[in-house]
Each structure stands twice: as structure tokens, then as C-alpha cells.
Amino acid sequence: MIRVGIVGSSGYVAGELIRCLLHHPAVKIDFLYSHTSAGVKVSEIHEDLFNYPKLTFTNQLNYHINLVFLCLGHGNSKKFLLENNFSDDTKIIDLSNDFRLQKNAILNGKEFVYGLIPLNKARIKTANYIANPGCFATAIQLGLLPLAAHHELNNDIHIHALTGSTGAGQEHTATTHFSWRENNLSIYKPFNHQHLGEINESITSLQKEFQNELNFIPLRGNFTRGIFASMYVNSNLSEAVVYSLFQEFYKNQEFVYITKKTINLKQVVNTNNCLIQLQKIGNKLLITVVIDNLLQGAAGQAIQNMNLMFGLPESTGLIFKASNF
């Protein structure tokens, strides 16, 4: 059994990690660390886990654990690791943005591998430290990397992507409470979202000459879970050729599916799946991607990475059915 701990256990992503890991056949949860909720029953915060009454948060760490997931706020993972020395045998998967960029990937000799599996699967299998990608970054990269791999991103890219309210975290803010979010839609961080850096690094790792603009408009949607991303580029490739490129790129990848049919969020919410629709309209190639921001965009992808790091089948503990109605 893989003994795991979760640090920062009270947020939405941690809640999904706990839910999935409780049913993972090769995992035993050793501790759920929360400095603000030590001694509190997990079900008091994650109410869907009411049937695990003995599960409690702790402020005690096991520094010799097999794997620790860091679900801390951005900027806090680095600080936490500087203050806490885990065993050299302890693997780490960080779900913040602290180590995603190459300039930030090394801390005290620990080198974090960027955990986007279609891009870095071989490295992930032998890695001890993983920087889990951002949710928007995951959806957008899965829509663009097959083109980058064939050097077909030769003009500016235009991206619109909507995320649900869970993407903003569990803390209540002016733009997350029900009376503001319901029947509403808004743009935030246009053209300068923090995930653009990791997207650019991934694209240029496959297409080194890429210097075009990523024009990204993120939007807050009035739903709880999911990311609906649409992006378009000018392309001389036929739809059939593009479809073939995507099928080839993802032929050995779990959870990524290519289609020509119209897609929607309900097909993937509560699953670890990514669904990509391709359409050629005139000289425009339209790519639409849907994922669950808490699973394929966070906790599910982290468990995929764990499975690879420990030599397990990639899909272990991650086969879920979407609730389509």
C-alpha cells in the first residue's frame, strides 16, 4: 500500500483527493494535515464524507510517508517545504503554482517535474517531485499541444474559457457567493492570467520557434464545476488531417478523447476525462475542450501522476461515470 498524507486538507481540491483516495485500491491515507482544523472531523468540512466518522484532521506530520500531496494556497508550498523536512524517500506532488515554471522548479536540490502527462509521461514515471498543472492550463494545453508537436501554431491563438465557482477555492469572496454568481457571468485577469506562463513553456518545449500571442480571456461561470475552453487559430490543415494529428498524439493517453460531435460540460463533470472537439470552419480551426476543474484539472490529474510514479496502471482509482442529468 502507498501511504499518503495531504497537507492543506480543507479545500475543494483536497476534498476531491480524499474522496478518490479513500476508494483507491493501492492507497492508505496516513494523515490529513490542517493547522486550522486539527481534531475536527473531516465530515464537518467535507460533508459528503459523513460516512467516515472516524476520519479527522491533524496537525501532526509523518516525515517518512511514501507520498505527500500539497494542497496549499499559491506561494505557501515553498514556504511549507522550507519549514518541514520530509525523508528523501518521500515523493511530493504539489498542486499549487509554486514549482510549475522552470525558473522555480528546484528547491533545496529537489527538482519538480511539470506533471502534464501527455507532455512528460516518461519523466513523471521516474520523478520524486511533481508540480501538478493548473486547471485552465491543463484544458488549454490539451487543446494545443498536438499542434505544437507538429509545429502548426504559427499565428496568434485566441482562447475563451469558463470555470465554475469551485475554481476560486472554498474561501468566500465577493465574486463567489450565490447571490452574485447565480445568473451572472464575468471576465477576470484578461490577457495576464497566471497560467499563461506554464502554457507558453509547454508549447515552446515542443515548438521552439513559437513566439505568437496567447490571447486568453478567462470567465467566471454560474455553475460549480468544470472548465469549458474554446480556442481558435488560422490553419491550412484540413479537418481530417487535424483529427488524425490529435488521435495520434493521444493514442497512448488515458482519459483524453477526441470527437467531431458537439460537446458539453455534463459529459465530463465528476470524472477525470477530457473531451476535445475539433471543427474546421473556413481557415479557422476551432478547438473546444471540457474537463472537470477539480479532477482532471487538479486532484484526478495528481492521482494519475501518483499512479505513474509508483508503477500502477494510470487509471487506477479514477474510473468514474459522469452524471449527465
Indicate which residues carry an active-site annotation: 135
Distance CA 114, CA 99 (A): 8
Distance CA 161, CA 67 (A): 32
Measured at the CA of 134, the angle between CA 7 and CA 154, to 5 degrees, comes to 160
Q: Are 231 and 276 in contact (CB under 8 A)?
A: no
The C-alpha R_g of the chain, in whole angstroms, comes to: 19
Measured at the CA of 85, the angle between CA 83 and CA 87, to 5 degrees, comes to 165
Distance CA 223, CA 182 (A): 8
- The contacts of residue 132 (CB under 8 Å, 6+ apart) are 93, 94, 95, 115, 298, 301, 302, 305
37: cell is 482544523
